[in-house]
Structure 1
Amino acid sequence: MADDRADHGADGTAADDGAGGAPDVRGTPPRSADELLDIVDERDRVVGQARRGDATTRRLRHRCAFILARDAEGRTFVHRRTAQKLVFPSLYDMFVGGVVGAGESYDEAALREAEEELGVSGLPAPTPLFSFLYETPEHTWWSRVYEVECTLPVDPQREEVAWHAFLTEAELEQRLTEWEWVPDGLAAYERLRAVRAAEGRAGPRAAGPRAADREGGPGPAS
């Protein structure tokens, strides 16, 4: 079956190949829950290691990288997660990214995750913007937010992405209240908008590297 997902519009309704709106995972299993992660404290210092599945079920604080990817026209890559995802299945996200592996740096994870999820090779190193601690009663992880320009044709990782499109800033803003978003990504996006407002810049589009060393406190999604 031809993969025509990139040709769908930005309404998210013609999302998946197959009957009944089933996610297009093409039989590829999700990343293993046995993946080893660094466990960190409230100051992001490594204090141990655990399997990814255990970190999730036992609410062990670990690390994640979030990458806002834009095309040459400045549109943001938005996708819906597959139903097989370990955390926040079938929700929309304006970031690509994921957990930082044991012994892996945030920067290494950001480039790896961006290339894996977008299905490209040769991306420039994502630019770090800021870090914050995401905490809810169910989850806790240190989050490093990045941005990158992707001018390459994307072929998103099918075990991760059920639907995707590049949206303009206006389209994305409109859909913030229409679609169900991953809460950590929404929290990161809201913080990014706040950083840009404080810098006197217009929206998340005007990203700059000087925000990279900022750290926020615990940030449950609203």
Structure 2
Amino acid sequence: MSAAEEIIDIVDEDDRVVGQSPRGEAYARGLRHRCAFVLVRDARGRIFVHRRTATKQVFPSRYDMFVGGVVGAGESYDDAAHREAEEELGVSGLPRPTFLFKFLYEGDPGGGTWWSAVYEVRCDLPVDPQVEEVAWHAFLTRDELEERLGMWEWTPDGLAAYERLGVHGGRP
């Protein structure tokens, strides 16, 4: 099954499930759904930053400071965060990510909206990122990441989560 055919839950403004849809159709119609974002730090506290592949359906070739993705139909945010982090980092045995906060991302008009659960996890394992998802990656210090915020083209939902991270008691 392709990513576009994957069935996802469609939710309302209060994050209650109101239906299901193939992912591609949900994107095309701008249906509200659920995503999990995971900020990954290494043993030195550096943040995993990557550039998405050009083949990604949403925000291709943009940089992101989170790994993660769409929550599958019937899947919990917690399970999706763990699954997506292991898949994108190419690791197994990663600790369960710690939930930080949730917010409703509202992109450009007609560009879609999704509930976004934000997590953090420490990864001491050697990463081998999924080539279908990650075109480039590095662990950057917070200062190195912040220096690049104005230079690189970032995913807008990742930027929105990163900006909220400090507001919600996190430490970007």
Which TM class, normalised by the smaller chain length?
over 0.9
Please name the residue that 1:37 is paired with. Answer: 8
Contact 2:101 2:168 in 1 (8 A): no
Return the alpha-carbon distance in structure 1 between the equivalents of residues 142 and 19 of structure 2. 40
Q: CA deviation at 1:194?
A: 2.0
| Aligned with 2:57 (options 86, 90, 93) | 86
**How far, CA to CA, are the matches of 1:195 and 1:142 in structure 2?**
16
How many residues matched?
170
Cα distance in structure 2, aligned partners of 1:144 and 1:170: 24
CA distance in 2, matches of 1:194, 1:130: 10
Does residue 128 of structure 2 align to residue 155 of structure 1? yes
SS in 2 for 1:120: coil
Amino acid at match of 1:187: A
* Matched ranges for 1:206-217 at <5 A: none
Q: Deviations over 1:163-191 (max 9, x none)?
A: 00000011011011111100000000000
1:96 aligns with 2:59: no
Q: Contact 2:34–2:116 (CA<8 Å) still a contact in 1?
A: yes
Measure, in 1, the Cα distance between the counterparts of 2:159 and 2:112. Answer: 14
- Structure 1 residues without counterparts, runs of 5 or longer: 1-29, 205-222
Q: Are 2:83 and 1:112 equivalent residues in the alignment?
A: yes
| Partners of 1:81 and 1:31 in 2: CA distance | 18
Amino acid at match of 2:20: Q
Aligned-pair identity (%): 74
Alignment equivalent of 1:180, drawn from 140, 147, 153: 153
Q: 1:53 aligns with which of 24, 27, 38?
A: 24
Partner of 1:171: 144
SS of structure 2 residue aligned to 1:142: strand
Please list every run of at least 4 consecutive aligned residues from structure 1 whose deviation after the TM superposition is greater than 6 angstroms: none
- C-alpha distance in 2 between matches for 1:116 and 1:189: 21
Matched residue of 1:174: which SS?
helix
Q: Report the AA paired with residue 192 of structure 1.
A: L
Asked if residue 193 in structure 1 is aligned to residue 166 in structure 2, the reply is yes
How far does residue 35 in structure 1 lie from its aligned partner after superposition?
A: 0.3
**How far has the Cα of 1:31 moved from its partner?**
5.0
Cα distance in 2, alignment partners of residues 97 and 34 from structure 1: 18
Amino acid at match of 1:97: G
Query: Paired residue for 2:115, among 121, 125, 142?
Result: 142
- Structure 2: which 5+ runs fail to align? none
Give the partner amino acid of 1:77.
F
Match of 2:38 in 1: 67
Larger strand proportion of the pair: 2
Shift of 1:37: 0.1
